[in-house]
Amino acid sequence: MKLTMNANYLNRESKPGIKDPNKINYTVLFMQGTDTVTLYTTEQVFNNLEIVPPMTECKVSLDYNSQYRSLRLMDVQPIKK
C-alpha cells in the first residue's frame, strides 16, 4: 500500500548489518510535529538526500507491507517554499 506524508528531514545514516556485515542498511530520520520516524530505504534514495539540508520540509512516499507490518521509504521530494 502506498502512502504519502509531509515531514521534516532530519538526518540519514548507513551502517553494516548485524547478521551480515557485508549488507549495508540505509536509514533516514524524519520529524512530524514532535514525533520522529526512522525509515529504511534503498541506496539510491539515501544518496539523493545528500544535498537536502536538515529541517527541510519534504513530501515523503512510503510503501507499507501489511504482511511484515513495515514501512519502507520509496521517494523524498523537498517542498519548495
The domains of the chain are located at 2-78
Give me 19's grid cell. 547478521
Residue from 2, 14, 55, 4 nearest 31 by CA:
55
Higher pLDDT, 80 or 23: 23
CATH T-level topology, domain 2-78 = OB fold (Dihydrolipoamide Acetyltransferase, E2P) (2.40.50)
- At residue 49, φ and ψ (nearest 5 deg) are -80, 0
When pLDDT is cut at 50, 70 and 90, the band that residue 4 belongs to is: very high
For 9-49, write each residue's pLDDT tens digit: 999 999 999 999 999 999 999 999 999 999 999 999 999 99
When pLDDT is cut at 50, 70 and 90, the band that residue 80 belongs to is: confident
When pLDDT is cut at 50, 70 and 90, the band that residue 51 belongs to is: very high
Gap between the Cα atoms of 74 and 20, Å rounded: 23
